[in-house]
Amino acid sequence: MTMSPSGDVQALTSMEYRIRQYGLQQGSLEIQYIEEFFGEFNRRKTAAEVVARLSSRDHQIVMAEAALPDDPGTVVPVAYKVSHELRASEAEPKLADLVMRLSDSVTFEDRKILYSWIGGTRRDWRGQGFFRALTEQQEAWALDNGFDEVVAKTKNRLYDMRGTLDHLEFNVVQFEPNADDARESKVYLSKRLGRAVLDRHRSRRAVVEIG
């Protein structure tokens, strides 16, 4: 159970998350904007990078928005998630490398695989269920769009993300130890999609499609 800093469990369980699902052009600009709030990311994505990665493949850009605590009339984006199709045969070296690393643990043949590429929740809004709501929206969309499995990649040292993916029932399917620094070891995770996944969803969501 997620609890707000004030410990108000009741408010969170009845909360409706406001989600925007964006088309590529506007979505890429929104991603560039929200990534500026993540000082912990070494390399924040630009709109051009997002467009280059997503334009030739099935993809989803979702953001959650919420009111500012001290100015409830102002609504701002607080969390985001970008995912895209990952195919057995990829031309882009980074993606080809990822497919190669996953090939022992994920079946690509005759299956549609979604890669959960980037995402996060702004610090002041963490622990309030925003990332769960986006993940559940991602899974509902993925199932509707014929995907069989979602894969994700993280590092040992991204402890918040690892804990979160655990709660969201992602399974570790591959581990690449880093002999020099265990914090940099890579962890690959996956979640197989099906009706049962949707049945376990908990968030109430109001989704608006833009662009």
Ligand X SMILES: CC(C)(COP(=O)(O)OP(=O)(O)OC[C@H]1O[C@@H](n2cnc3c(N)ncnc32)[C@H](O)[C@@H]1OP(=O)(O)O)[C@@H](O)C(=O)NCCC(=O)NCCS
Which own/partner pairs from 32-39 qualify as long-range (CB within 8 Å, at least 24 positions apart)? Answer: 33/77, 34/63, 34/77, 34/80, 34/122, 35/118, 37/122, 37/123, 38/120, 38/122
Q: How far is the CB of 111 from ligand X (least distance, A)?
A: 24
| Shortest Å distance, C-beta 35 to ligand X | 10
Nearer to ligand X, 41 or 111 (CB): 41
Residue 146 CB, shortest distance to ligand X, in Å, is 26
* Sites of contact with ligand X (CB under 6 A): 1-2, 79, 120-121, 126-132, 154, 158, 160-161, 163-164, 167
**3 or 88: CB nearest ligand X:** 3
Closest by Cα among 133, 92, 113 to 189: 113
CA distances from 23 to 26, 32, 33 (A): 6, 14, 15
Choose between 3 and 210: whose C-beta lies nearer to ligand X.
Answer: 3
The minimum distance between CB 162 and ligand X, in angstroms, equals 8
**Which residue of this chain has its Cβ atom nearest to ligand X in the complex?**
163
Q: Within 10 A of 137 (CB to CB), how many other CB atoms are there?
A: 21
